[in-house]
A and B are shown apart, each in its own frame.
Chain A
Amino acid sequence: MSQPEMLEEQIRELRAQLDAKTRIATRAMATYQQRALQMEEHAAELRAANEEIRRVNARLSETLQTLEERDRRITSDLEQARRFQQRILPSLPASKQARAAVLYRPAELVGGDVYDVWERSRGVFRFFLADATGHGVQAALRTMLLKAEYDRVKLEALTPEQALVSLNARIAAAYPGLEMQCTATCFDLITAGDGAARVRYATAAHPPLLVLHGSEVRSIYQPGPFIGVVPEIELQAVELEVAPGDRLLAYSDGLEDQLNASGDEFGIERVTAAVRDRSLALEDAVARLVSEWETFLGANRPDDDATLIAVEHLG
């Protein structure tokens, strides 16, 4: 092969190589353009998705605001209900014959326990405690009706058992669907002015009345039906003598039944241990009980309303 021919051959080879590289470059360029296009599309999709997220966030924010507003209104209503419920509870008697102290702890802002303390006549005190079925707002509404009904019957009832029987008749007649069913206890402390006193006690399915006499604890229990289930009930009263310094405890089951984180029950022994300490005035003993009860429960929220009426016969 002559030199010119060799040069032509080299030129052909170089052109072939150039063509091949041009084809590769062209394909690469096409791929690049395609990818660029895809990225453009993805970017558009991302922009659209971002916009959708922004809109959803805005809606969520609005919904959250609405819920917070509702929550504020419900809490405010409950606070008002709590104030109403507190208002129907009586002030405690200040007397030379008797003093009283109360522990009242609804499981929620409002609760299903209600009580009344009334000096019927000079030196004669009547105590009433009821525990309505359920908890929270519905139970609190029941307590308001119960208290209103009790306030109507208590003026006419000469004895605690008459008060409960009359209350039952009214409740059963007005609310026949059992929706006002409750337990209740009622007792009179009748002081004679010379240090002597007696207690007349009646109960409708309520926990026992405890009498603390010195270091002795007497549990006065009478079986009885619920209030508000049947129109006519019969209740047997119990009468007992009490001495100056004796303390009487009426309570709802939520006080003793509360469990702590270990599953232990508070129990009535802790209640009597706290309240029978005569070195403390009755109010201070009940305050100590409140403190012990709260310490016992710890982080556990109470699951029932708890009420204790403590009464001391002073002489």
Chain B
Amino acid sequence: MESLVAGDLRINVDDTTDPQAIRLHWLGMSTDRQPEKVLGPFFAALLQAVADQPRVLELHFEKIERFNSSTILSIIQLIQAARNRNTPMVVIYDPTRKWQRLSFDALRIFDKRDGLFELRPMEAA
């Protein structure tokens, strides 16, 4: 799986360090007005890549500088698509950064303690 570079956003894909997980490290900024045009196909390819493997998707946002509300919409779509495919997913974020706390607190609704989605503050990662 190739990493993604789109404008100021970079998502590094690490699928070798941990055989149990595919790690996506989000870097830079996601401020495109229509990030779904790039993220949609990327996430679709990602879900396809893990379709036949019992691997967790780990999304690391600790180092991303900022993203806009359109980006969080794409992330929600990924969470929903992963859940529909029974693909477990973990989101790791930095709660000490106000904008991250605000954005990711809003995703807590998807954390149903069923092993399919976990929202993990950085300290506990």
**Which residues from chain A sit less than 8 Å from chain B, CB to CB?**
131, 133-136, 178, 181, 183, 204-205, 207, 223-226, 229-230, 233, 253, 257, 303-304
* B106 contacts across to A, CB distance below 8 A: 183, 204-205, 223-226
B105 touches A304 (CB 8 A): no
Report, as a range, how many residues of chain B touch the other chain. 10 to 19
* A135 contacts across to B, CB distance below 8 A: 33
Looking at chain A's contact residues, is the secondary structure mostly helix, strand, loop, or mixed? Answer: loop
A-B contact count (CB 8 A): 46
The smallest beta-carbon distance between B39 and chain A, in angstroms, is: 14
A233 touches B73 (CB 8 A): no
* B72 contacts across to A, CB distance below 8 A: 133, 226
Which of A133, A233, A304 lies in contact with B109, CB distance below 8 A? Answer: A233
Chain A residue with Cβ nearest B106: A205
A224 touches B68 (CB 8 A): no
Which of B69, B76, B103 lies in contact with A131, CB distance below 8 A? Answer: B69
B99 touches A253 (CB 8 A): yes
Which of B33, B99, B107, B108 lies in contact with A134, CB distance below 8 A? Answer: B33
Closest 4 CB pairs of A and B: A205-B106, A223-B105, A225-B109, A133-B69
* B12 contacts across to A, CB distance below 8 A: none
The smallest beta-carbon distance between B95 and chain A, in angstroms, is: 10
Interface residue? B124 (CB, 8 A): no
Interface residue? B77 (CB, 8 A): yes
